[in-house]
A and B are shown apart, each in its own frame.
Chain A
């Protein structure tokens, strides 16, 4: 059969019509070329046609794939697990759907298989139980079992845990599959008998710790935590960007365990790529990953049947032979250690009691307020603590503890007995006594750190302790300045500030300073002013103080204020018989002014002029004013610079309401002192 030319077959390009030949000639030429091609490529064209027909037919293609499918599966599974991973969900779904649709058929099909399986499983369980029982019997009565029982009693761990610890090579207790970004547990599995916290909280905390470690330790680089170890537990972490696996295990896992973790994680990340990328908190889809996670749970125990090497047996025999001697030695050492321990305990107790007594002394000291007193933590040297003290005290405090710290190395012959603090008398033999005592005391306990508030006027803690024969070098003091309101401190502060003279005594009671005795008034006033500015002083009572000159001054002032100088009718010159009185009055006023100035006071004078009822009111005011001026003129004439106030009161205060009266025509004087707080002089300003 001659194949007909295919219209779709590529043809050679037809020569372009050049105009030299007619269209009829062109058609003839094409047919000839076609005939030539058929003659030349007849076989190839036939083969091409057969191939096309085969490719177009689904049945033929299926036949082809079927013939090589088995070989292709074998080859693919040899190379990697991709085919298996691709098939697994498909097969899984098919089996599930088939089970759901035809449960009876499956149960009938599986019965021949499951029956023996169940029987085998029960038989294995019995076997394991018997083996466990016989193992328990063996361990219960063997030397090893007794030893483990003793260990269990000594450590308080359950016997089963002790056995596990001795026989375990490794055991994976829990496996967590965790979403990296949120720290949410997607799925988790645990070994039987394992107690663990809530998987969500464990995974979140683990993520937080990883973030924390990354932030703190990774030095800015993104490095992940892959191992955590605490005691017998190890946490292995295998991470991919989307999720990570964390396995909690005990013992030493096989070298390829990490590779298993990695493979499992890669599978899970690939399997759940879509869910992980769009994770919104729904953990439901990840429940199916549990069987794969369970594959990572596992354990291995040591081979108990392995015989002991000969050298170990020989060693054990030698040890047993040496037992009586060793036991004697151990007993002797035990007795010795027990006695030493009791001695140490007594020394420590005594040391602590002495330290507490010393702190109690500080608590009772006025101006010191102990706010913290305790043993100094290990590594916190006295000098470093003291450097935090206030600037005013730091020098002293820095030196003192260092003596204690260096004393240990410096004192060559420290007393061996526990040196009580109160025993310290400062009479050491060769080494400085304080250092020797400190060394002996420090053998019994660590130095103490004391933090206290200290008033500026209070004694330092070192002074207080030294006064009572205590060793201050066993303490490291941190002093914080403060102002004490304790009566002793307030009293001391007032005493320093006002410095009372010998004949003044001072008493402090309920915030009030009571001063008594005799003192110049200007001192009294200054002392009162100063004392009132001091903290803790509410008032100053100076009623018990007197100035020896006060009485004389009071007498003179009373004399001046009691004097009366009378005038003739209508005159501003005193009656002749009162002229000497007036002169004396002016002299007395000058004396008052001098004495008051000595006592720190200024004097001012008010002169009141009076008239009798005779004459007009205006005239009486004028004449009374003129009478006051006469006294003022006399004082000026005597050179007195005393401030004056003059008042002409007319007949307002006439002693008789009608007619002439000499006793009404008079002047009166009032003396003013400034300031005046002396009790004897109080009458003046009233």
Chain B
């Protein structure tokens, strides 16, 4: 059995916890998020015929965007950076977090999730922004919606395949 540690990073209120909730039934209470700053969830999936346990570390988003607890990133084998499409500044924060995380973990698989796809008309993040990140930064990007589940399963599966 393969077990992989995945971290969820992103600014405050971009929907990290909602994405995890959409993807996995969580055992631990949300109280941990505010007390310890992290919430652990687990999902068992089969990728390319390989059974895999994904242990998800949902890390507290803070007001100071780039203030991420480095200790929790140790040993991560993949991570998501999450931004809110309706707030342009959260995308900048996500890119900063990505750079900070890669400093700690080294080059590991990761994806950018731009959440709140259901509010697409209100998005401040443009198609050009997304294309630029795909082409220039080589980032795997998904427009997700924690409310409807759009692209959530697909994004987790993509990251899991990259970690195989």
Contact = CB atoms under 8 A, between A and B. Distances in A.
Nearest to B163: A281
A483 to B, nearest CB: 30
B27 A204 contact: no
B68 to A, nearest CB: 12
Contacts of A577: none
Interface in B7-43: 27-28, 32, 36-38, 40-42
A624 interface: no
Contacts of B80: none
B3 A200 contact: yes
Given A205-B32, A208-B36, A208-B38, A183 B55 contact: yes
A182 B77 contact: yes
A600 B72 CA distance: 77
Contacts of B27: 197-198, 201
Interface in A184-210: 184-185, 197-198, 200-201, 204-205, 208-209
Max chain A CB contacts within 10 Å: which of B3, B55, B72?
B3
Nearest to A184: B3
A437 to B, nearest CB: 41
Contacts of A208: 32, 36, 38, 40, 57, 72
B25 to A, nearest CB: 11
Contact of A198 (B4, B42, B52): B42
B69 A281 contact: no
A224 to B, nearest CB: 12
Interface in B57-91: 57, 69, 71-72, 74-77
Contacts of B77: 182, 280-281
B5 interface: yes
A151 interface: no
A180 B76 CA distance: 12
Contacts of B28: 201, 205
A282 interface: yes
Contact of A205 (B40, B52, B71): B40
B57 A284 contact: no
Interface stretch (A165-173, A211-219, A392-400, A608-616): A211-219
B40 A281 contact: no
A128 interface: no
B75 A183 contact: yes
B75 A181 contact: yes
A197 B52 CA distance: 18
A283 interface: yes
B42 A182 contact: no
A288 to B, nearest CB: 14
Nearest to A202: B40
Nearest to B69: A215
B1 A179 contact: no
Nearest to A197: B27
Contacts of A284: 1
Contacts of B41: 201
B141 interface: no
Given A198-B42, A201-B28, A209 B36 contact: yes
Interface of B: 1-5, 27-28, 32, 36-38, 40-42, 52-53, 55, 57, 69, 71-72, 74-77, 163
14 contacts: A182-B5, A200-B42, A200-B55, A201-B40, A201-B42, A204-B57, A205-B40, A208-B57, A211-B71, A280-B2, A281-B5, A282-B3, A283-B2, A283-B3
